[in-house]
Amino acid sequence: MTAHSSTSMTNLPQPDHPYKVMAVYKFAPLPDVESLKAPLAAFCCTREIKGTLILAPEGINGTVSGSPQAIEALADFLFVSGPFGTRLAGAEVKYSYADTAPFLRMKVRLKPEIVTLRAPQVDPNRQVGTYVEPEDWNALIERNDVVLVDTRNDYEVGIGTFQRALDPNTQSFVEFKDFVAKNLDPKRDKKVAMFCTGGIRCEKASSYMLSQGFEEVFHLKGGILKYLEVVPETESRFSGECFVFDERVSVGHGLELGQATLCRACRHPLTAADRQHQHYVEGVSCAYCADDSDKHQAAAERQRQMDLARQRGRAHMGDAVADDAARARAEKIERAEQSRLANKG
């Protein structure tokens, strides 16, 4: 079964890791989206797949992880045998691997859009820019007549981006429209190339720019993740690491685990240099939230609870918390029953 549309050869090793990660998106009409949520959630939960999948009338988007066998079964469910039929065939899918669980629980969410732009005139099912394969990306972005734009948010750009790329300095994707209006001109900028994490934001962004009169709009097929997967590091024009929306925080070339961590107070990704800042306290604060004492207090208490849970050999977050709580209740009941029998005797 072919679950994705890319023909690029992979540089990924064939790893022996317990968790396989699937990042997937596809713009496809799903008018019956409400009836799809329950069977998809049930399928994932019964196979201990965790992560987030977003369903909307315009398609699907998300990242999940589980055992390699479970993820392979999910791919078949989404693209062949499940209630989606063949509507998701040709989806953009990227796989990677992890030694520890990247996600703590499973969520299937219904939303108006799979990536929020709030531009009703945009329809990636009808019109998008020109896809550029990762192997051809370097030649395109090195041209002097091409304007290169990073469509991601500021905290993502901060830990890694392509050389010469414009940073829109946005905090949410809906602000991208304002960036275009203020900084780009269809009469001047005849050729625009854009990129994002996995390709989905560029589908919306390129469709929007075409609706605004831009003549030639290109976007990196499969996004930064596919580029880091298939382009050798010696030929790469990407500097730094790529932020990902799970517990891995970032990945580098070959989709190897990156060095970035998250500030647990403000959720801002932190590079090694950020962690040397005077305001950095592990699990409590960083330079980006140095003036927010309320966040620091909450984070300090959360860190204390995590440390206590670790000392007791208990989970602190995710579905494992419920499992630990159930075990604790069972142990308490067992102790009480043993005590009752002992007293009776």
The model's confidence at residue 6, banded by pLDDT at 50, 70 and 90, is very low
148, 183 contact by CB (below 8 A): no
Which of 44, 45, 196, 266 is labelled catalytic? 196
Of residues 300 and 157, more confidence is placed in 157
Confidence of residue 190 (pLDDT cuts 50, 70, 90): very high
Residue 47's Cβ-count burial label (10 Å; 0-12, 13-18, 19+) is middle
Buried b (16+ CB within 10 A) or exposed e, 122-149: bebeeebbebbbbeebbebbeeeebbbb
Outline where the chain has alpha helix (H).
33-46, 68-76, 134-141, 154-157, 176-183, 200-211, 223-230, 293-311, 319-344
- Euclidean distance between CA atoms 124 and 96, whole angstroms: 26
In the numeric block, which tokens belong to residue 223? 């996004």
Answer yes or no: 196 catalytic.
Answer: yes
Q: Tell me the backbone φ, ψ of residue 152, rounded to 5 degrees.
A: -85, 175
The number of C-alpha atoms within 13 Å of 136 and in the hemisphere containing its C-beta is 12
Mean pLDDT of all residues in 118-135: 93
Q: Is the pLDDT of residue 77 over 60?
A: yes
47, pLDDT greater than 60: yes
Alpha carbons 223 and 293: distance in angstroms, whole number:
37
Residue 323: per-residue pLDDT = 46
b/e sequence 167-200, b meaning 16+ C-beta within 10 Å: ebebeebeebbebbeeebeeeebebbbbbbbbbb
Give φ, ψ of 247 to 5 degrees: -70, -10
pLDDT-based confidence at residue 245 (cuts at 50, 70, 90): confident
CA–CA distance, 53 with 191 (Å, rounded to integer): 33
pLDDT at 340: 60
130 forms beta bridges with: 218
Number of C-beta neighbours around residue 121 at 10 A? 9
Contact 160, 242 (CB under 8 A): yes
Q: What is the pTM of this model?
A: 0.77
Residue 150 DSSP code: E
What are the pLDDT digits (tens) for 49-68? 999 999 999 999 999 999 99
pLDDT classification of 322: cutoffs 50, 70, 90:
very low
Percent of the chain with pLDDT over 90: 68
Torsion of CA 82, 86, 90, 93, to 10 degrees: -10
Q: State the SS3 of 66-115.
A: ECHHHHHHHHHHHHHHCCCCCCCCCCEEEEEEECCCCCCCEEEEECCCCC
